[in-house]
Amino acid sequence: MSGDAFLVQVTYIEDNGTRHTIEVREGQSLMDAATKNRIPGIDGDCGGACACATCHVYVAPEWFERLAPMKELESKMLKFASMPKENSRLSCQIVAAPALDGLTVTIPKSQY
The Cα–Cα gap between 76 and 71 comes to 9
Is 1 part of a structural domain of the chain?
A: no
Is 59 part of a structural domain of the chain?
A: yes
Is 58 part of a structural domain of the chain?
A: yes
Q: Is the pLDDT of residue 4 over 80?
A: no
The Cα–Cα gap between 50 and 47 comes to 8
Q: What's the pLDDT tens digit per position in 43-100?
A: 999 999 999 999 999 999 999 999 999 999 999 999 999 899 999 999 999 999 999 9
Edge to edge, what strands does the sheet with 19-25 contain? 19-25, 7-13, 103-106, 56-59, 88-90
The Cα–Cα gap between 31 and 57 comes to 9
Residue 5 has what pLDDT? 74
Q: What is the largest CA-CA distance in the chain?
A: 39
To the nearest whole percent, how much of the chain has pLDDT over 70?
A: 96
Cβ neighbours for 100, distance < 8 A, ≥ 6 positions apart: 8, 10, 63, 66, 67, 94
| CATH code at position 17 | 3.10.20.30
Give how many domains the chain has, as a whole number: 1
* DSSP labels, 14-61: -TTS-EEEEEEETT-BHHHHHHHTT-TT---TTSSSSSS-TTEEEEPH
Is 92 part of a structural domain of the chain?
A: yes
Is 19 part of a structural domain of the chain?
A: yes
Is 20 part of a structural domain of the chain?
A: yes
Residue 1 has what pLDDT? 46
Is 111 part of a structural domain of the chain?
A: no
Residue 112 has what pLDDT? 82
Q: What is the residue range of 13's domain? A: 7-106
Is 66 part of a structural domain of the chain?
A: yes
Q: What's the pLDDT tens digit per position in 21-59?
A: 999 999 999 999 999 999 999 999 999 999 999 999 999
